[in-house]
Every structure is written in structure tokens, then in C-alpha cells.
Structure 1
Amino acid sequence: MDHEKAVRAAAVQISPVLFSREGTTEKVLDAIASAAQEEVQLIVFPETFVPYYPYFSFVQPPVVMGKAHMQLYEEAVTVPGAVVDAISRAARSYEMVVVLGVNEREGGSLYNTQLIFDADGTLGLKRRKITPTYHERMVWGQGDGAGLAVLETAVGRLGALACWEHYNPLARYALMAQQEEIHCGQFPGSMVGQIFADQMEVTMRHHALESGCFVVNATGWLTPEQKQQITADEKLQKVLSGGCYTAIISPEGVPLCDPVTEGEGMAIADLDFSLITKRKRMMDSVGHYSRPDLLQLQVNQQAWAVMQSAPTVPLPEQDSPLSSEPIPHPVD
């Protein structure tokens, strides 16, 4: 680790263009260009921001959400595809690491997917949320352990988790054990109210302290008009409010800038990597403060598939004993 390194990071709080993959992607590209003017080297967007988080599934019963679910299928992102190509070009053009949440479609399934683009435009990691939360299970499939990986990037060793994956301590520890230097958190925002924002702050600051890494956390935002688009029920519109905490936290658990909790905006801060060593000198959860003789974590990091090719069994040669000798019969 370069102890003298400093990285300028941005967490973006932003509203999508509802029902439009193309429109939301344009907002992502505009935000990347704006961040480049601030000399940002790492930018993090909210959970499943492209085309939009499925807020409908939180306020509609399954029996009536079919139309909205189908529309999400139609606007979802494929990997590879046009959205990936556009973000790759922007990352390469501005030499910026980009962490983007998308609704990914593969075949007949949708996934909550986090994409990490390196500063040369390479898509370095595609990971899927390992367990969708509550209502989300009606929308997305499950990810696998292949996504529990820390990626070496131009700005350092990056890991990412989405929303309540942060309440899975073993998932967090899997990233910590890989010497995560910057953790990228993504949440939907505009849900549940202030209590969600309060819980998020506690969770993000705790991970920074426990892992001894920086946390860059981004949440989405819905305008009053967008809440009306999602539901005409005024009581349910109140449910789609609050819950925003876009922030950057130091390895000592200290916010490095004012968080964004209302409206659109960017939290921008410089990450001084010497703070990682300063924190871990006191408490290194995966080093001198661990007890691997007592406690260990096992992780299956293989990607799963519904079908795998069986190994080919060679046919016996013509002059082999198997083909030339008569087949023995049981003796009466």
C-alpha cells in the first residue's frame, strides 16, 4: 500500500429518469463529467440506479405489480451491452474509476448488480447482491460468492456491497480479509424515513472502523413528482421519503465531508491513505487483532451455473484389452 497516496472520491445522490434506461444513463454520464471538473478519481452511484430501483415492489402487492415488473425487464441492463460500453468510454476518457448499480437482465431473470469500471475503462468486476432483501425477492435472483472479491484498481483495492448486505457480517469480513482499502456502499434512498438514514450512518461508520478502510456510500433520491408516478396513495408516498445518507467516511469512522441527505448532490472528499495504517496500527481485524486459531471464515467464491459440461470420457482403443478380450460371463 502506498501510504502517501491520496485519492479524490465522490458519492453521488441523484434521482433516476423513471422508466428510462437511456435517460438515466445520460444522467450518469453527466455526473461523471461534472465530477471530472472537480478532479474526482473515484465516483460511486446508488444501488440499481440504472434504469431505477424497483420502488414499486415496496409499495405494491405482488398481484398488481406485474406491469411495473415487466417494464423493468424491458429497461434493464445487459452485460455486455450499450450501457456498459457508454460507461466504459466515460471512465476511460476521464481516467476515473466508476462504481455503478444496475438492474441486470440475463435471460429470463433480473439481478441487483454492481459494476466496477477501472480508470482505463475495463469492467473489472460484475457482482450480484447475494440475497435480495424482503420485497426485493419478488424482483431479483440471488448472486454468488464470485462477487465477494476485492478489485485492484487505479485508486486502490476496492470492494462493494449493496444495502442490507452490510448486515451480513461474514460478507463484510470476506472483503476485509482481502485487504479492502476503499469500500463502496450503495443504497436505494427515498425509503422508510429518517430511521433508515440513521441506521445507514451507523452501519457505514462501523464498517469503516472495523475494516480500517474508507467508505464511499451513495443513495438515490426521488422527487415528489416521481413518488406520485410510483403510487397515487399519499400514505405510501410518505413511505418513499427520507432514508438518504450519501457520505464519505474515514478509517477512523469520521465523516470527511458533509453528508447529502436531501435532494441531488455529491459528497466529495480526499482520501489520505496514511489513515488506514493509523487505524490498523491500533486494531487490525484481519491481522494482529484476529485469532485464526479460534475463528476462520470459509467462502465459496466460485460462480455457479445451472448447467456444466461433464468431462469427456475417451473411447477405448481397438487393440486394447477392453475391446479385444471377450466379456466374461458368470459361471453357473
Structure 2
Amino acid sequence: MDYSRTIRAAAAQISPVLFSRDGTTEKVLDAISSAAKDGVELLVFPETFIPYYPYFSFVQPPVLMGKEHMRLYEEAVTVPSPVTDAVGQAARTHSMVIVLGVNERDAGSLYNTQLIFDADGTLLLKRRKITPTYHERMVWGQGDGAGLQVLDTAVGRLGALACWEHYNPLARFALMAQHEQIHCGQFPGSMVGQIFGDQMEVTMRHHALESGCFVVNATGWLSEEQKQQIVTDEKLQKVLSGGCYTAIISPEGVPLCEPITQGEGLAVANLDFALITKRKRMMDSVGHYARPDLLRLLLDQEAWSVLEQSAGQSPVTDAENSPLLTTAPVPMSLTTEAL
């Protein structure tokens, strides 16, 4: 792994075009083009940005949200599709690594999906949020361990999680043990209020410190007009406010640019990989500071399927054969052993 390089990264705080897959895709392509003019090599978009985050499920009871849920089905992204082709082409044109959140439709189900495109336009990973949170469980299915991968990209070793997946310490550890150099976080933004933004800051800075990696975190943004489009009740409109923290954090837990908490914009910073070594010299939680003789993680990276064919199963990849990370077809759990 190269720790001598510096790359330029950006996180987009941006509003969707509500109820329009094509409209939001155009905003994504425009943002990529704009970021490229600033020399950006890695661009991270918010959670399920295309076509839009299902805010309706947070402010409507299940019995009333059928119409909006169906509309989300109609506008959701299939993979592959013209949407993924267009984003891949933009990544290739601008030699940019792109992390994009989408509502993915797979036949009769929707998923909270993170797509990672390399700088040559290749779709390297399609990963699904392993556990939708609270109201989201009425909208999305569950992902599996196949997406808990750290990838070799044009900008370094890159991992990603969505929103409250960051409160699953074993999911974070799975990426840490694969030696991520850049972690990409995605949140919906414009929800819950200031407390959500404050919690997000603590979470992102802690992961940077614990993992000894850079964190590039993107949140969405809703205008006042968009809140009114989602819900007419003024009290519920207030719930769709705050909760934004678009930022870039160093391995020492320090913001590398002014975080964005309101409005649209790009958080941009240069990532000097020498800071990773500087941090890990003191505390490498998956290296000299670990105790795999006492504690280690078992991770099932096999993709789920409702159909098992007798021809056999695809092999599970053990990323870099980390002594702290064992991949096996067993439920993910933390194990302790007596010496």
C-alpha cells in the first residue's frame, strides 16, 4: 500500500430533484463536472441520493405511505442501467473515483445501496446497507456481508458505510481490518435537528481516530420548498431540518476543511497519506495495538440468495489475509478464546 501520496477529495452536500430519478442524476453529473474543475479525484454523494432519500417514511405512518413508496419504486435505480452507465462514463471522463448512494430496485424489493466507481468508470462494488434503521425497515430490504469490502481504487484503499451502520462496531472493524485508507460515509441529512449533526460529527471523527484513516462524509440537504413537498404539516416539516455534517476528517480526527451544515456545497481537501502512518505509529487498532489472540472477528462475506444451486458457491475473498479478520460462511460474531 502506498502511504507517500496525496489526493484531492470532496464530499457533496446537495439537494435531490424530488420524485425524479433523471433530474437527480443530472445534478450528480453536474456536480462531478464541477468538482473535476477543482482537481477532485474522489467525490462522495449522500445516502440514497438517486432518486432521493425516503423522507416520507420518517413523517408518515405506514398505513399512509403506500403511494409514496410506490413512487419510489418507479423512480428507483436498477444496476446496471442508464443511470449507472452515465455515472461510470462521467467517472471515466474526469478520472474520478465516485461513491454514490442510490435506492436500488431488484425485482420486487428496494435496497439502500452504495455504488463505488473507479476512475476508469468501472463499477467496483454494489453494497447494500446491512440493517435499515427504524422507519427505513418499511422501505428497504437487508444487505449482506458481501459488501463489507475495502477496495483498491485509483485513490487508495477505500471502504464505505451508510448512516447508522457506523453504530455497528463490527461492521466498522471489518473495514478497518482490511486496512482502509479512506472511509466514505453517507447520511440523508435534513433530519432530526442539530443533535443528529452533532452525533454525526462525533461518529465520523471517532472512526477516523480509531481506524487511522481519512473520512469523507456527505449528507443531503432539503430546501424549505422541498420540505413542503414532502409533508404539509408544519410541525413535521421542522423534523426535516438540521442533521447535516458534510466534512473531511484526518486520521488524527481533525477536520481538514470547514464542515458544511447548511445549504448546498462541496467540502474539499487534500489527503496526505503520510498522516495515516503518523497516526498508526502511535495506535494501530488492527496492527500492533490489536490482540487477535484474545479478540477477532468472523465475517461471512457470502452473498445471500434464496436459490442455492448444486453447482457450488463462489469463493469468499479474504482481504489481504489479515490475522484479525477471518472470512468464513458463518454468522458474523465476536469470538473470545481462552489461552
User: Taking structure 2 as the reference length, what is the TM-score of the superposition?
Assistant: 0.91
How far apart are the structure 2 equivalents of 1:310 and 1:281?
48
How many residues are matched?
Answer: 312
Structure 2 residue aligned with 1:279: 279
For the residue of structure 1 that corresponds to 2:296, the secondary structure is coil
Mapping for residues 1-332 of structure 1, pairs under 5 Å: 1-311=1-311
Distance in 1 between the 2:51 and 2:179 partners? 32
Match of 1:321 in 2: none
Corresponding letter in the other structure for 1:80: P
Task: Give the SS at the match of 1:88.
Answer: helix
Distance in 1 of aligned mates of 2:309 and 2:242: 49
Matched with 1:327 is none
| Counterpart-to-counterpart distance in 2, 1:294 and 1:4 | 33
Q: State the one-letter code of the partner of 2:278.
A: K
Shift of 1:311: 4.4
**Partner secondary structure for residue 271 of structure 2:** strand
How far off its partner does 1:56 sit?
0.1
Determine the C-alpha separation between the residues in 1 that align with 2:244 and 2:94. Answer: 28
Q: Please, what is the CA RMSD of the aligned residues?
A: 0.7
Does the residue aligned with 1:297 lie in a helix, a strand or coil?
strand
Displacement after TM superposition at 1:309 (Å):
1.4
TM-score by length of 1: 0.93
List structure 1 segments (4+ residues) > 4 angstroms apart after TM superposition: none
The CA deviation string for residues 144-175 of structure 1, in whole angstroms up to 9 with x for no partner, is 00000001000000000000000000000000
Q: Secondary structure at the match of 1:291?
A: coil
Q: Deviations over 1:242-276 (max 9, x none)?
A: 00000000000000000000000000000000000
Give the AA of the match of 1:294.
Answer: L
Q: Tell me, what secondary structure is at the counterpart of 1:10?
A: strand
2:227 alignment partner AA: K
For residue 308 of structure 1, report the CA deviation from its aligned partner: 1.6
Unaligned runs of 5+ in 2: 313-339
AA aligned to 1:48 is: T
Deviations 1:163-196 (A, max 9, x none): 0000000000000000000000000000000000
Counterpart of 1:63, as a letter, is: V
1:43-68 deviation digits (Å, cap 9, x = unpaired) = 00000000000000000000000000
Instruction: For residue 310 of structure 1, report the CA deviation from its aligned partner.
Output: 2.2
Separation in structure 1 between the aligned mates of residue 298 and residue 144 of structure 2, nearest angstrom: 14
SS at match of 1:298: strand
Equivalents in 2 of 1:311, 1:295: separation in Å? 35
Partner in structure 1 of residue 315 of structure 2 = none
